[in-house]
RNA sequence: GCCGGGAUGGCGGAAUGGUAGACGCGGCGGACUUAAAAUCCGCUAUCUUAACGGAUGUGUGGGUUCGAGUCCCUCUCCCGGCACCA
């Protein structure tokens, strides 16, 4: 029987499904292993990128199953989100219809991968049975003060016509559609992720996360320790007696020669004197019109304007002018900074421009009092700083802070870059936020018993900047749960990252109608042992779900504190031209074409063989032929009748060598699969296949060894090529299913070489190689080396300085 | 600017401080075939040599070492993240 992948793929996919081979039982006695891959957005087409994420992930999950675990490797759909709405707008299809029919199609395509998904556990986030729990969690968070409504200058995408979270902004542009964002002052719902900033920086509960993801989360959270220091403005006669600034360089306090407020700082209108009002107003208007990208540009000119008021630096009683400047951000620290031109490069430029004094207070070594030509940001000795002169600036950071605290002029504090998670969206296709606005009772949560707040079917989703739901009278009009008076519903929907923050719980119990997930099952299955997916979610999904888990933990809903123990990021699959795949470049690969032609196993194996999974790499239309050819050879080899071997020619040495290679291959393959190194695992299987072909053609192998080799080859290949190996398994008389077998084990003694190649070097250069007994003693190796004619020709006439022996490796003779 | 990761044949890539280039693609040659495809076998870093061999070679320049793709320092380029965050 020849290898016909198309027939075999569908034959076994149907059989496995019919038998429920991949059904995962909760009461299975084996130890659990929860291995998740990031669920896809139902865009309607499963592209090669999905395959690249899912096929190797499946192979790894299968490998864990063959190691004896009860493996849960589920799949679902991240089904809420903008593309559905955009399709509705451009093609007049209802988002739900579009999404559900895409899911239908993608299920079929996903089945063609041949993965071990248990479809009974499928999760679809746009269904009320799922999103009602988003609402439930929202209410829990609200109850605990973790969800709040506030007016804030939020990020707005003019093209998506909705607000965005800070995490969804890349270089001043919308992460989805790349349009430049603007700011709006709006009342929105937030989650208090900042309250968890310190705990999110604690990665001790994680095992094996890529360092770069941890670094990215660290950068994003942006913790910095410093001092909040106040400047006295009591002689202005205002109610406020001081301006608070935040600095990480309190040691430079005596170098302050001005104070700068953000243009949006609340004190600005009151601190501005009449003489300066016009100029200040002009500046603020100009700042407001400056685009986000321009405002963020680091090399932008530092501008500002004096507002007419002075503030007092209490440590030396000096009056310093107060400016506004748009290089100071409202959203960070206190929205005001102390200007120390001598020791901060931005302040230096600002001071030069506005002719403000520059006073050195930290002396660089070898400084003789000359004027600075740029800011000195290094360490040195305190000068011009009163009682602190002569100390090192590092010592002073604490000393000054303590002294300030004693006088209540300042306090040590920590600032974070991360902002609270903005979860409101002015879009239709999402989870309605379960809140009601009542004229008498104010903001009232929808009672748990009234959940879900259903997303109405009819809405005008043409984006207007208003939430589409607000035009739906039937939805908006409701009664206040507290006083029964007529009231209005919240019409914003939730960020879809809400859905993915807890979906790992729902796979355990996808249709539970009384809880988001069964508490007993959570105890049994969580935490996720292995998570795989793209690195683009480092500060969005992965940070949000860590926050979500910690919040749930604190509320008492779950016992664990981290959602994902281990994380592995696959790389990006590129076009054959080494460019990112895109329709406009015409380098997009359609996996279905290759699956139809060469079979799912060939596509799976090739994707794993291209290179290390975490590095990604270019697809190759011709390269896949190599993998397909190899699978054909495997088929050919395993399908041979071992009984037809002419055993009279079997050779003891070949048998021993073949067994050795087999055990070496099992060892290599096991260790590589364990670490997601599919490419080298497959390479080692190829080597074994090449060897088997050789010994078959010269009949130097016996039937028993042959059968052992082909059997183990099938087992090792099974995680990567599940269809073909299942067929071959049956053909060789083994009982169904190969996917319920254990991964082969190896014997280090049988894998050990008994003859090794000893490399002979002179001055570190290879001059000869000899075959020797593996257990060779140093003295004998040295003697053999010196006896080699080739070595002799290089040593002749020179004196041997020394000789290095590396056991079972080489002899290096050093001559002068 | 700061923080990560990387640079190895024509291409994808492999190498616990110890034989650089495993495995595969492509190319070349051969077998089979009327022929082609498929399949199988052999060769394939560069220079040099009739050949044996020799020299060179892992982005650049230096260093440590008996020995460096691997460790240390310098620089260049590529990718990712952060970036007026006080």
Among all protein residues, pick the one whose CA is nearest to the C1' atom of B54.
A767
Nucleotide at minimal C1' distance from the A630 CA: B24
Give me the CA A16–C1' B60 separation in Å, rounded: 57
Distance A412 CA to B20 C1' (A): 56
Per-residue pLDDT averaged across A133-143, rounded? 97
Checking if the pLDDT of A289 tops 60, the result is yes
- Flag whether pLDDT at A211 surpasses 90: no
How far, in Å, CA of A709 to CA of A642, rounded? 11
Q: Mean pLDDT throughout A803-810? A: 90
- A228 and A244 in contact (C-beta within 8 Å)? yes
Protein CA at A658 to nucleotide C1' at B2, angstroms: 54
Give percent above pLDDT 90 in chain A: 70
pLDDT band at A743 (very low <50, low <70, confident <90, very high): very high
Structure tokens at A378: 């290094």
Find the nucleotide nearest A245 (Cα to C1′): B86
Q: State both tokens at A148.
A: 């709040």
The pLDDT score that the predictor gives to residue A22 is: 96
Q: How many alpha carbons fall within 13 Å on the CB side of residue A342?
A: 24
* φ and ψ of A150, to 5 deg: -150, 155
Mean pLDDT across A129-141: 98
Domain ranges of chain A: 5-123+502-574, 135-192+420-494, 224-415, 607-750, 753-815
Q: Which two tokens stand for residue A543?
A: 């940070």
Residue A500, burial from CB neighbour count under 10 angstroms (0-12, 13-18, 19+): buried
Distance A808 CA to B67 C1' (A): 16
Burial, A128: exposed, middle or buried (Cβ in 10 Å; 0-12, 13-18, 19+)? middle
List pLDDT tens digits, range A337-387.
Answer: 999 999 998 899 999 999 999 999 998 877 888 888 888 888 889 999 999
Among left, alpha and beta (phi > 0; psi -120 to 50; other), residue A230 is beta
Q: Are A429 and A82 in contact (CB under 8 A)?
A: yes
Please name the nucleotide lying closest to A761, CA to C1': B67
CA distance A338 to A323: 10
A224-415 matches A5-123+502-574 in CATH topology: no
- What integer pLDDT is reported at residue A724 of this predicted model? 96
A652 CA to B43 C1', in Å?
A: 30
Cα–Cα dist A364/A362, whole Å: 6
The DSSP code for A68 is: T
Which nucleotide is closest to the Cα of A629 by its C1'?
B39
The CA–C1' separation of A331 and B62, in angstroms, is 48
How many other β-carbons are positioned within 10 Å of the β-carbon of residue A750? Answer: 15
pLDDT per position as a tens digit, A688-705: 999 999 999 888 899 999
ipTM value of the model?
Answer: 0.95
Average pLDDT of span A434-444: 96
Q: How many Å from the CA of A683 to C1' of B33?
A: 32
Q: What is the pLDDT of residues A370-379, one digit of tens each?
A: 888 888 888 8
> In A326-366, at which residue ranges do the beta strands (DSSP E only) sit?
336-339, 362-363
Q: Which residue has the tokens 């074994």?
A: A688
pLDDT score of A87: 86
Using the C1' atom of nucleotide B25, identify the protein residue whose alpha carbon is closest: A623
CATH of domain A607-750: 1.10.730.10
CA to C1' distance (Å), from A144 to B58:
58
Q: Which nucleotide is nearest to A793 (CA to C1')?
A: B53
Produce one character per residue of A30-68: b if its CB has 16 or more CB atoms within 10 Å, e if not: eeebbbbbbbbbbbbebbbbbbbbbbbbbbbbbbbbbbe
Using the structure, give the distance in angstroms from the CA atom of A200 to the C1' atom of B8, rounded to a whole number. 39
Q: CA-CA distance, A168 to A538, in Å (whole number)?
A: 12
Half-sphere exposure of A506 (CA within 13 A, CB side): 26
Comparing A50-64, A362-376, A512-526, which segment has the lowest mean pLDDT?
A362-376
Q: Closest residue by Cα to the C1' atom of nucleotide B83?
A: A298
Q: Is the pLDDT confidence value at A602 over 90?
A: yes
Section A172-196 average pLDDT = 86
Stretch A756-785: mean pLDDT, rounded? 89
**How far apart are the two ends of chain A, measured CA to CA in Å?**
66
* Domain A5-123+502-574: which CATH number of 3.90.226.10, 3.40.50.620, 3.10.20.30, 1.20.1250.20: 3.40.50.620
Q: Which architecture does CATH list for A224-415?
A: Alpha-Beta Complex (3.90)
A647 pLDDT higher than 80? no
A400/A627 Cα distance (integer angstroms): 68
A157: nearest Cα among A149, A145, A165, A148: A165
Q: Is the predicted pLDDT of residue A463 greater than 90, yes or no? A: no
Provide, in whole angstroms, the distance separating residue A128's CA from nucleotide B64's C1': 66
A56-70, A166-180, A461-475, A575-589, range with greatest mean pLDDT: A56-70
Q: Regarding predicted confidence, which is higher, A434 or A91?
A: A434
pLDDT 10s digits, A398-437: 999 999 999 999 999 999 989 899 999 988 999 999 999 9
pLDDT at A572 exceeding the cut of 60: yes
Q: CA A460 to CA A298: how far, in whole Å?
A: 41
Nearest to A421 by CA among A497, A361, A310, A351: A497
Report which of residues A317 and A181 the model is more confident about: A317
Would you state the pLDDT for residue A297? 63
Q: In Å, how far are A400, A711, A713, A741, A792 from A708, measured between CA atoms?
A: 76, 5, 8, 15, 46
* A734 CA from B32 C1′ (Å): 35
Q: Which residue's CA is nearest to the C1' of nucleotide B68?
A: A764
Given the structure tokens 């795989």, which residue do they identify? Answer: A532
Rounded CA separation A33/A68 (Å): 9
Q: What is the DSSP string of A406-428?
A: HTTSEEEEEE-S---EE-EES-S
pLDDT band at A295 (very low <50, low <70, confident <90, very high): low
Listed residue (A485, A393, A491, A563) closest to A188, CA to CA: A491
CA distances to A150, A450, A476, A512 from A447, in Å: 22, 5, 16, 19
CA of A679 to C1' of B64 (A): 34
CA–C1' gap, A630 and B70, in angstroms: 32
Q: What is the pLDDT of residue A151?
A: 86
| Separation CA A343–CA A223 (nearest Å) | 21
pLDDT at position A292 is 67
Distance in Å, residue A787 CA to nucleotide B85 C1'? 70
Mean pLDDT lowest for which of A23-32, A289-298, A609-618, A781-790? A289-298
Nearest nucleotide to A632 (CA to C1') is: B39
Q: Give the fold, CATH level 3, of A753-815.
A: Ubiquitin-like (UB roll) (3.10.20)
Look over chain A and give the mean of its residue pLDDT values, rounded to a whole number.
92
User: Which nucleotide has the least CA–C1' distance to A690?
Assistant: B23
User: In Å, how far are A301, A770, A785, A795 from A767, measured between CA atoms?
Assistant: 65, 10, 10, 11
Average pLDDT over residues A594-613: 95
Q: How confident is the model at residue A293 (pLDDT cuts 50, 70, 90)?
A: low
The Cα–Cα gap between A661 and A111 comes to: 35
Nearest nt by C1' to A418 Cα: B85
Query: From the alpha carbon of A249, which nucleotide's C1' atom is closest?
Result: B86
Give dist(CA A420, CA A753) in Å, integer. Answer: 60
Query: What number is the average pLDDT over the span A182-189?
Result: 86
Given a cut of 90, whether residue A646 has pLDDT beyond it is no
DSSP letter (8 states) at residue A515: S
Contact A430, A469 (CB under 8 A): no
pLDDT at position A387 is 92
Provide the positions of strand B that have an atom within 7 A of a protein CB.
3-5, 11-16, 18-20, 22-26, 38-41, 54-55, 66-68, 80-86
User: Is residue A296 over pLDDT 70?
Assistant: no
SS3 content of chain A, % helix, strand, coil (to 5): 45, 20, 35
Question: Would you say A190 and A173 are in contact if contact means Cβ atoms under 8 Å apart?
Answer: no
Alpha-carbon gap, residue A187 to A504, rounded angstroms? 31
- Give A185 or A530, the one with higher predicted confidence: A530
A617: nt with nearest C1' to CA: B12
Name the nt closest to A222 by C-alpha to C1'. Answer: B85
Q: Tell me the Cα Rg of chain A.
A: 34
Specify the nucleotide whose C1' lies closest to residue A625 (CA): B25
Residue A609 (CA) to nucleotide B58 (C1'), in angstroms, measures 22
Distance A693 CA to B52 C1' (A): 32
Q: Which is nearest to A675 in space by CA: A173, A64, A262?
A: A64
Of the pLDDT bands very low, low, confident and very high (cuts 50, 70, 90), residue A648 is confident
Residue A293 CB coordination number (10 Å): 12
Query: Prior bond to A150 cis, omega within 30?
Result: no
DSSP track, A223-241: -EEEEEEEEE-GGG--S--
């Amino acid at each position: 029987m020849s290898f016909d992948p198309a027939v075999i793929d569908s034959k076994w996919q149907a059989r496995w499904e019919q038998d429920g081979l991949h059904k995962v039982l909760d009461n299975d006695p084996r130890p659990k292993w929860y291995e998740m891959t990031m669920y896809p957005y139902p865009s309607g087409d499963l592209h090669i990128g999905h395959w690249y994420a899912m096929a190797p992930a499946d192979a790894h999950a299968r490998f864990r199953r063959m190691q004896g675990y009860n493996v849960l490797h589920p799949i679902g759909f991240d089904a809420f989100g903008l593309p559905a709405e955009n399709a509705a707008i451009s093609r007049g299809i209802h988002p739900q219809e579009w999404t559900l029919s895409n899911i239908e199609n993608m299920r079929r395509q996903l089945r063609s991968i041949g993965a071990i998904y248990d479809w009974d556990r499928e999760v679809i986030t746009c269904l009320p049975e799922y999103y009602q729990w988003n609402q439930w969690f929202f209410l829990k968070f609200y109850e605990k003060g973790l969800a709040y409504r506030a007016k804030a200058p939020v990020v707005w995408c003019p093209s998506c016509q909705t607000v965005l979270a800070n995490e969804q902004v890349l270089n001043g542009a919308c992460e989805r559609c790349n349009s430049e964002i603007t700011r709006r002052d709006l009342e929105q719902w937030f989650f208090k992720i900042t309250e968890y900033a310190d705990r999110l920086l604690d990665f001790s509960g994680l095992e094996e996360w890529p360092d770069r993801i941890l670094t990215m989360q660290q950068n994003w959270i942006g913790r910095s320790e410093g001092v909040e220091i106040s400047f006295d403005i009591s002689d202005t006669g205002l109610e406020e007696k001081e301006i608070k600034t935040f600095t990480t360089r309190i040691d430079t306090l005596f170098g302050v020669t001005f104070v700068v407020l953000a243009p949006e700082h609340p004190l600005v209108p009151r601190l501005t004197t009449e003489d300066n009002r016009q100029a200040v107003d002009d500046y603020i208007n100009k700042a407001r019109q400056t685009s986000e990208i321009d405002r963020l540009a680091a090399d932008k000119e530092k501008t500002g304007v004096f507002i007419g008021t002075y503030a007092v630096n209490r440590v030396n009683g000096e009056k310093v002018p107060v400016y506004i400047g748009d290089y100071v951000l409202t959203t960070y620290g206190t929205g005001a900074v102390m200007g120390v031109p001598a020791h901060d490069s931005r302040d230096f430029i600002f001071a030069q421009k506005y002719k403000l004094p520059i006073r050195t207070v930290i002396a660089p070594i070898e400084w003789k009092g000359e004027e600075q030509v740029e800011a000195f940001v290094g360490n040195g000795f305190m000068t011009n700083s009163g009682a602190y002169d002569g100390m090192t600036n590092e010592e002073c950071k604490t000393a000054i802070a303590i002294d300030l605290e004693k006088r209540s002029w300042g306090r040590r504090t920590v600032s974070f870059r991360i902002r609270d998670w903005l979860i409101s969206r002015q879009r239709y296709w999402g989870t309605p936020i379960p809140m009601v606005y009542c004229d008498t009772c104010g903001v009232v949560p929808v009672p748990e018993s009234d959940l879900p707040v259903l997303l109405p079917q009819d809405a005008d989703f043409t984006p207007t900047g208003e939430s589409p739901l607000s035009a739906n009278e039937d939805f908006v009009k409701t009664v206040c749960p507290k006083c029964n008076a007529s009231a209005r519903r919240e019409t914003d929907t939730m960020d879809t990252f809400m859905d993915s923050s807890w979906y790992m719980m729902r796979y355990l119990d996808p249709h539970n109608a009384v809880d988001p997930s069964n508490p007993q099952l959570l105890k049994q299955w969580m935490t996720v042992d292995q998570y795989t997916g793209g690195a683009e979610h480092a500060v969005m999904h992965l940070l949000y779900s860590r926050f979500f888990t910690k919040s749930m933990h604190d509320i008492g809903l779950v016992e664990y504190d981290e959602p994902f123990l281990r994380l592995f990021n696959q790389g990006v699959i590129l076009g054959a031209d080494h460019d990112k795949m895109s329709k406009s470049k015409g380098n997009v690969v359609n996996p279905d074409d290759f699956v139809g032609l060469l079979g799912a196993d060939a596509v799976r194996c090739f994707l794993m063989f291209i290179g290390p999974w975490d590095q990604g790499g270019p697809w190759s239309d011709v390269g896949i032929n190599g993998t397909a050819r190899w699978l054909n050879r495997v088929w050919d080899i395993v399908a041979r009748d071992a009984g037809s071997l002419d055993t009279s020619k079997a050779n003891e040495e070949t048998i021993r060598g073949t067994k050795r290679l087999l055990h070496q291959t099992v060892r290599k393959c096991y260790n590589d699969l364990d670490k997601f190194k599919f490419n080298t695992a497959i390479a080692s299987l190829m080597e074994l296949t090449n060897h088997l072909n050789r010994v078959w053609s010269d009949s130097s192998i016996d039937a028993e060894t042959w059968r052992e080799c082909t059997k183990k080859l099938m087992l090792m290949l099974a995680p990567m090529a599940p269809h073909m190996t299942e067929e071959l398994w049956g053909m060789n008389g083994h009982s169904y299913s190969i996917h319920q077998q254990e991964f082969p084990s190896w014997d280090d003694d049988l894998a050990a070489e008994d003859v090794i190649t000893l490399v002979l070097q002179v001055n570190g250069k290879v001059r000869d190689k000899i075959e020797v007994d593996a257990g060779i003693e140093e003295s004998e190796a040295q003697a053999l080396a010196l006896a080699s004619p080739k070595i002799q020709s290089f040593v002749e006439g020179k004196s041997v300085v020394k000789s290095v022996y590396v056991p079972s490796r080489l002899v290096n003779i050093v001559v002068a």
